[in-house]
Amino acid sequence: MSEKNDKEIDSVSGIETTGHEWDGLKELNNPTPRWWLWIFYATCIWAFGYWVVYPAWPTLSGHTQGSSGWTQFKKLETEQAEITARQAKYAASFKDASFDQIMKDETLYAFAVAGGRAAFKNNCATCHGSGATGGRGYPNLNDDDWLWGGRLSDIYTTLKFGIRAGHNETRVSQMPAFGKDGVLKQGEIKNVAGYVIALSEGKASADMAGNKIFAENCAACHGDRGQGMREVGAPNLSDAIWLYGGDEETVYQTIYNARAGVMPNWNDKLSDDTLRMLTVYVHSLGGGEADEEPQVPPSTTEGEPNNNDMQQLPETPAATEPAGATTGE
C-alpha cells in the first residue's frame, strides 16, 4: 500500500492529510511556513559567514584560523591589559606609601584589602581557611587573640620571615617537650594541665597543685597569670581560645610533646607589595591593632577579678629562666 495512492483530502479544509491519525484527529500536510524558512536560510548563511571569519573547523594541523584572527588568548590578553592599566595608577602610589599613609587613604586601603584578599586565597587559605578562621594548630586571624602581635608591623614581620621557618630572621621560640624530654613527671604534667584549664576558665587559684609547677616552668613564656607573651609567641592561656585544644587530653599532649607550629616565610615567594597588601588584609579582618598601642594583651590589665589571686605569685628565679627553655633549637 503506497501512500501516494492513498492521499486523503480533509473534507473541512480541503487540504491533503499526512495519513497520521490520533484518536480521530488527522494531521494536515501544510507547507512549512515562509517565516520559518527564511529564518532557516538566514542561519545557514550566518553559519557560513562564521566559518570564514572565526576559527571553526578542525584540521590535521589544528584548526582553521578564520579571517579575523580571533583567539581566546588574544581576548584574555586585552582584558588583562585593561585591568593592569586600571590598577597601574593605584599600584604606583601604593608602592611608595607607608602603612600609615595606606591606612589614611581610603582608595589605597581598599586597593590593599582587595589585593590582599586575592593573595590570601592563593597562598594562605590552605592552612588558615578561606575565611581565615584557622583550625587546629592554625591560628584564627579574625579574632584579636595574637601569638606574635596584631599591629601592622608585627603581621608584616610574621609574613615576611615566617614562624620557625628556617629563615635566619624567622620568628622562633620553642616550648620544651616537658614529658618527652623528662623535665616533668607524668603526675606533674597532669597537675599543671589541670591548672592551665582552670586558668582558661578563670578558676585557677594559688593553692592548686599545678600552681608552683606553672610558676617555675611556664610563667617565663606564658606570663605569671598565663596571659601569654608575644616576644616568644607564647599563647594566652587565660582566655578560652585554644590553638590546639583545651580538653584535658589535648593539653596534656601539648605539654608532654610540645607543638612548635610552622608558618612558612614568604620573603622569597611574594613581592613586597603583595606582602604589604596581605598585611593590611589580615589587619582588616577584625583583630588588627593600632600601631600606638602598647604590645600588651588586654588580660594583663590590673584588677581582673578572676586573676586577682594570681598576682601574689612568688617571683621565683625559675620564673624568669624556665627549665628547658634553652633546649629549643
Which positions touch ligand HEC (CB under 6 A)? 120, 123-124, 126-128, 137-139, 141, 146-148, 155, 158-159, 163, 173-175, 178, 192, 196, 217-218, 220-222, 232-235, 237, 242-244, 251, 254-255, 259-264, 266, 278, 282, 322, 325
- Read off the C-alpha cell for 311: 598576682
Residues 323 and 305: their CA atoms lie apart, in Å, by 30
Find the shortest distance in angstroms from Cβ 269 to ligand HEC.
Answer: 8
How far is residue 133 from each of residues 80, 100, 235, 241, measured CA to CA in Å?
Answer: 31, 26, 17, 12
* Residue nearer to ligand HEC on the CB measure, 97 or 196: 196
* Residue nearer to ligand HEC on the CB measure, 115 or 235: 235
Find the shortest distance in angstroms from Cβ 167 to ligand HEC.
Answer: 14
Find the shortest distance in angstroms from Cβ 317 to ligand HEC.
Answer: 14
Burial 93-110 (b: 16+ CB within 10 A, else e): ebeebebeebbebeebbe
- Return the closest-CA partner of residue 271 out of 259, 263, 279, 282: 279
* C-alpha R_g of the chain: 36
* Residue nearer to ligand HEC on the CB measure, 54 or 138: 138
* Residue nearer to ligand HEC on the CB measure, 103 or 263: 263
Find the shortest distance in angstroms from Cβ 146 to ligand HEC.
Answer: 4
**Angle at CA 179, nearest 5°, toward 176 and 181?**
60
* Residue nearer to ligand HEC on the CB measure, 108 or 262: 262
Find the shortest distance in angstroms from Cβ 292 to ligand HEC.
Answer: 19
* Residue nearer to ligand HEC on the CB measure, 102 or 163: 163
**How crowded is residue 9: how many other Cβ atoms within 10 Å of its Cβ?**
10
| DSSP code for 286 | T
- The phi-psi region of residue 290 (left if phi > 0; otherwise alpha if psi is between -120 and 50; otherwise beta) is beta
Find the shortest distance in angstroms from Cβ 96 to ligand HEC.
Answer: 23
